[in-house]
Structure 1
Amino acid sequence: MPVSAPAPAPAPDPSAAPDEAPKRRRTGRTLALIAVAAVLGVVGGTAVGYGIQADREPTALPPLNQPGLAHPAKPLPEGQKPAPLSAAEDRGLRTEGDLRTLLLPKPPGAKKVGIVPEDGWQGLAAYVDDYDNPSEAFEYLLDSGFRRVASSAWRTGEYKITQINLVQFRADSGQGAAEHAEDQRRFMEDESGYGTPVKGSRDGRTYLLPVERKAGYRDFYQARAYLHRGDVMIEIFVGDTRKISQEEISSLAERQLERL
């Protein structure tokens, strides 16, 4: 069972140096100990069973009582074979390639910032490095079918920084992407309400956080988006010393979703 909710990653602080990676927090979860114990029990029992079976003579399998179940019985003629699905019909084809090519491109005039790896890939250890509890987050995401993260970040103007992560899970892992997005949204409800739905997404949301004010520092505004499509979870962070509009964060989320 998941444990509740450390904070998700805040947007990068635009008042920091452009190449400095600001500290962020993301949601981390862990499996219940009883589930781990159950798995260990299954593994132990299986090992003993294999030892007993190894000393026995093999037993012949009974014949099939329903022969000829293969379909079609004969290969189809060349002209009758169905055409493979296009990328528009099979979303998996699009996300099986270089996931970095599906990230929104940097806008004209934007500058890269060194808060994500130079090659645009994050491994699981790097992705969870600044969770509240990295080891628990590592275990949970690995068990959820974590596959890879493609990331991009850029600076526009003097202080505004935008970061996008595409977090992909194995296609056979179930609802890893959907659950990861839902975890982040659940935390954001406590921070800034229910957010604004993302057009074209079943349950994606964008959020405008309350301004942070501190004596001697510039005001700090943040906007975030959490959504998913198929086996890819999208998270977007925008930070600036000026107010961020709902239109801006919604446009980012919708355009990134369209690329998937």
Structure 2
Amino acid sequence: METAAAPDAAAEAPLPRPRRRRGRTTLLIAGAAALGVVAGVCAGFIVQADREPTALPPLSQPVLEQGKGEVEPLSAAQDRRVKTDGDLRKLLITRPKGAKDTAFAVDSDGWADLATYAAEYTRPGTTFNNLVDDEFRRAAMASWRVGESYNVEIALVQFRQESKAAASEWAENGEYWAEDEDDTRSWPIPGAEDNGTAYVHDTPEQEAGYLPMYTAEAYAWRGDICVEIQVYDSKPISKAKIMDLAQRQVGKL
């Protein structure tokens, strides 16, 4: 009697759950740099105290004429705030035809509130507090799967930025951790005006019982929005794939 062929274990094995984003290490680096600046300023005051006083320039300065007439306001097409203050989900690139939902989708309506977005990190409690301090406003997210293992996740994270340039800080934090990975290649994102970088990690993550997981990611910022792109696959990911996603997403902002 014939027996049924054993199923291909590798074909049925799933991808492991992606390793999520990490903490704000760059803030510690920035803090150390700030302490260095303070120390330098103190040393400068000590040196200056031993020098002869320098005469100040006269207070009178030439009077500049004020322009006449009214300045024409920017059109809706020219004013970025008209676009970014609207429905942030409309600025996400659309998923390709035939793509399916991922196993790790955040929310079907495309929004991620503060708690939901913080849960994407390995230390959600700390991340939640950091997001509050950095004036988190809202996040729009999209994700999809093509085939059995190619997964894409994109987040547009918007900050109020009343006291700090948080969008650039969060993008730089993502870049810091991406560059910390071994066997990683990186390229600036065309059109991001030196405010974005794409990465491909050539060594996969391995976990018993799961397919190998290759990853690629990209980070950029424009104004008050930080762009985060994560790609996962059981096969190596090309530069062309992550760069296409990054360029198209930055272009929509």
Offset at 1:82?
Answer: 4.4
Quick check: 1:147 aligned with 2:137?
yes
The aligned residue for residue 8 of structure 2 is none
Structure 1, unmatched stretches of 5+, are 1-13, 33-70
Quick check: 1:208 aligned with 2:208?
no
CA contact (8 A) 1:28 1:132 kept: yes
Q: Report the count of equivalent residues.
A: 200
Measured in 1, the distance between the counterparts of 2:72 and 2:81 equals 16
Quick check: 1:197 aligned with 2:177?
no
Offset at 1:216?
Answer: 5.0
Measured in 1, the distance between the counterparts of 2:208 and 2:101 equals 29
Quick check: 1:126 aligned with 2:93?
no
Superposition pairs for residues 64-143 of structure 1, below 5 Å?
82-113=71-102, 115-143=105-133
The verdict on how the C-alpha distance between 1:219 and 1:23 changes in structure 2, with shifts beyond 3 A counting, is closer
Measured in 2, the distance between the counterparts of 1:127 and 1:158 equals 25
Measured in 1, the distance between the counterparts of 2:148 and 2:123 equals 33
Superposition pairs for residues 238-249 of structure 1, below 5 Å?
238-249=231-242
Offset at 1:105?
Answer: 0.3
Measured in 2, the distance between the counterparts of 1:224 and 1:23 equals 12
Deviations 1:222-256 (A, max 9, x none): 11111111110000111111221101100100100
CA contact (8 A) 2:175 2:197 kept: yes
Offset at 1:203?
Answer: 3.0
* TM-score normalised by the chain length of structure 1: 0.69
Percent sequence identity over aligned pairs: 43
Superposition pairs for residues 175-190 of structure 1, below 5 Å?
175-190=165-180
Deviations 1:39-67 (A, max 9, x none): xxxxxxxxxxxxxxxxxxxxxxxxxxxxx
Aligned partner letter, 1:218: L
Quick check: 1:15 aligned with 2:14?
yes
Measured in 1, the distance between the counterparts of 2:206 and 2:129 equals 36
The aligned residue for residue 56 of structure 1 is none
Quick check: 1:26 aligned with 2:18?
no
Aligned partner letter, 1:162: V
The verdict on how the C-alpha distance between 1:154 and 1:130 changes in structure 2, with shifts beyond 3 A counting, is closer
Measured in 2, the distance between the counterparts of 1:220 and 1:16 equals 6
Measured in 2, the distance between the counterparts of 1:144 and 1:28 equals 13
C-alpha root-mean-square deviation of aligned residues, in Å? 2.8
Quick check: 1:161 aligned with 2:151?
yes
Aligned partner letter, 2:97: P
The verdict on how the C-alpha distance between 1:172 and 1:127 changes in structure 2, with shifts beyond 3 A counting, is same
| 80-89 or 177-186, which deviates more | 80-89
Aligned partner letter, 2:238: S
CA contact (8 A) 1:149 1:166 kept: yes
| 248-257 or 84-93, which deviates more | 84-93
Q: Secondary structure at the match of 2:226?
A: strand
Aligned partner letter, 2:144: W
Structure 2, unmatched stretches of 5+, are 1-12, 29-65
The verdict on how the C-alpha distance between 1:162 and 1:185 changes in structure 2, with shifts beyond 3 A counting, is same
Aligned partner letter, 2:196: G
The verdict on how the C-alpha distance between 1:28 and 1:155 changes in structure 2, with shifts beyond 3 A counting, is same
Offset at 1:23?
Answer: 5.8
* TM-score normalised by the chain length of structure 2: 0.70
The aligned residue for residue 34 of structure 2 is none
Return the match for 1:227 from 220, 244, 249.
220
